[in-house]
Structure formats: C-alpha cells, structure tokens
Amino acid sequence: MSEQHAAPKHPYHLVDPSPWPLVGAIAAGLMATGGVLYMHGHGWTLLIIGALLVLGTMFVWWRDVVREAYAHIEFSAHRRDTFSDAPSAGSAVEFAAQGVDIRAVKR
C-alpha cells in the first residue's frame, strides 16, 4: 500500500478522491429546496440547515486543499533539482511565441 504513494511516475499532480463535491451538491440542493419552501411560507429550517452545510463543506474542502498543497510543496522540495531548468525552457518558448505573434500583427 505504501509503495503506491511512494513516488509518482508522472510529471503532473493528481488530486486524491474527495467526498466534498457530493456533500456540497447535496447541501446546495437542501439549501435550494429550503429557499423554495421558505418563499412558499413553509418555514426557514431547511434553508438554514442547507446554508450551514454549504458553509461547512466549503470550510473542510478548502482545509483539505491547503493541506494537500503543503504536502505537495514538501514533496516538491525533494525534487527541485529535477525541474530546475524548466522555467528557463518555458520562458524561451514563451518569448519565441510572442515574437511570432508580434510579426504576425505587423504584417
């Protein structure tokens, strides 16, 4: 099990599966249903519960995003020498593309 998460064999970052999109969708549905019921005079309880669930989902989802970002930063610190020349190569490609764009506009 630990060998699966030891080191990625690809240059891109895949996020871990998360329950928060499903929980957020259910919470938003409850809040919308509560809003409709409130507008028809059936009370505001479901609206408040849905709104609290949406806020709670936002909080824990962003908490997970921040934790994952910090874990990725710590992991990337060990691989910094691998990608040390990547920004300069990317900049060269970008400058070349800008030059082609400028020539096309001048014609």
Residue 83 lies in a domain: yes
Residue 10 lies in a domain: no
Report residue 70 as tokens: 């910090």
Q: Domain range holding 34? A: 20-102
CA–CA dist 68, 66 (Å, integer): 5
Q: Read off the pLDDT of each residue in 24-39 and give the average, rounded to a whole number.
A: 96
pLDDT of 69: 77
| 17 vs 84, higher pLDDT | 17
Report residue 32 as tokens: 């919308």
Average pLDDT value over all residues in the chain = 78
Question: Are the C-beta atoms of 30 and 49 separated by less than 8 Å?
Answer: yes
- Read off the pTM: 0.57
| 72 vs 23, higher pLDDT | 23
pLDDT of 71: 74
Question: Are the C-beta atoms of 61 and 20 separated by less than 8 Å?
Answer: yes
Q: What is the pLDDT of residues 57-107, one digit of tens each?
A: 999 999 988 888 777 666 555 555 555 555 555 666 676 777 666 666 665
How many separate domains does the chain show?
1
The CATH number linked to 45 is 1.10.287.70
Rounded alpha-carbon distances, angstroms, from residue 90 to 13, 29, 58: 18, 43, 34
Q: Read off the pLDDT of each residue in 49-61 and give the average, rounded to a whole number.
A: 95
Percentage of the chain beyond pLDDT 70 is 53
